[in-house]
Structure 1
């Protein structure tokens, strides 16, 4: 009878890399799903006033209007306060068209329940805010929210 001999080599076996592409693609899909992309770039300066009664805003039915002086890199648009809706500067007379476009982008069941969020720099003139509010009244968008930072304005 013959004896069977085992090979006794001291080499470490190679690592199996067959499942490596699967792991890489799973990680890729995971990060694609959980990453939140910014929907608009801020073109105006935003030093928000402080408020002591602050609530969390549901963003699913909100339309944001930003107002303030043009930010860094956008000084070519002047030093006066500007209105930003989405990624564009707009004039008071064009607010109606911009808001109608943003309203159409919302889900159909939320289009009648739109809340307009004003994010206004604390150095912006009240006249501009009044003009924006008048345009919102003309559009029958009466649910208005002012975005502030937590804190008390009197504490300095």
Structure 2
């Protein structure tokens, strides 16, 4: 039989960190995939009306949103409590809609511009006068595909 000797202290082996970068990049990739970035910060309140015959939009990249509703609480002192139009992250007037549509068209590919859809997210308490003005401005900008956002009536 052999003799075992205990000469010296026994040290803990070093921790193997070679797979740590792989784990970190896997987590980073996972969070990049599942996270959605908010495109617009809402400055108006809106409660969408309910409907029965609804269709889901197919290509969201071709949809441009126009929000109409009462300004949020922090903007009411400056903007009042009447319904306002929001284009991207700022309040706008009806006269600015044509320029907005032209800018949005410029960001799209040439072949997709004909399929551009304007989706109106309008508060159910908004008066029809402002909606008619928006529709007239869209007509003048040749944005003829209009969608009204609503939720399913239960």
* Fold shared, TM-score > 0.5 on shorter chain: yes
Structure 2: runs of 5+ lacking an equivalent: none
| Match of residue 34 from structure 1 | 34
In 2, Cα distance between equivalents of 1:111 and 1:5? 82
Question: For the Cα contact (< 8 Å) 2:102–2:141, is it kept in 1?
Answer: no
Tell me the CA shift for residue 100 of structure 1: 1.0
Matches within 5 A, 1:94-133: 94-133=96-135
TM-score (norm 1): 0.85
Where do 4+ consecutive residues of structure 1 move more than 3 Å? 2-7, 9-15
Aligned residues: 150
In 2, Cα distance between equivalents of 1:123 and 1:81? 9
Tell me the CA shift for residue 126 of structure 1: 0.2
In 1, Cα distance between equivalents of 2:120 and 2:5? 78
Q: What secondary structure, in the 3-state scheme, does the structure 1 residue paired with 2:47 have?
A: coil
Structure 1: runs of 5+ lacking an equivalent: none
| Match of residue 81 from structure 2 | 79
Distance 1:134 1:10, change over 3 A: same
Report Cα offsets for 1:79-105 as digits up to 9, x if no partner.
Answer: 111111111111001111111111212
In 1, Cα distance between equivalents of 2:69 and 2:118? 17
Moved more, 92-101 or 30-39: 30-39
Tell me the CA shift for residue 13 of structure 1: 5.2
TM-score (norm 2): 0.86
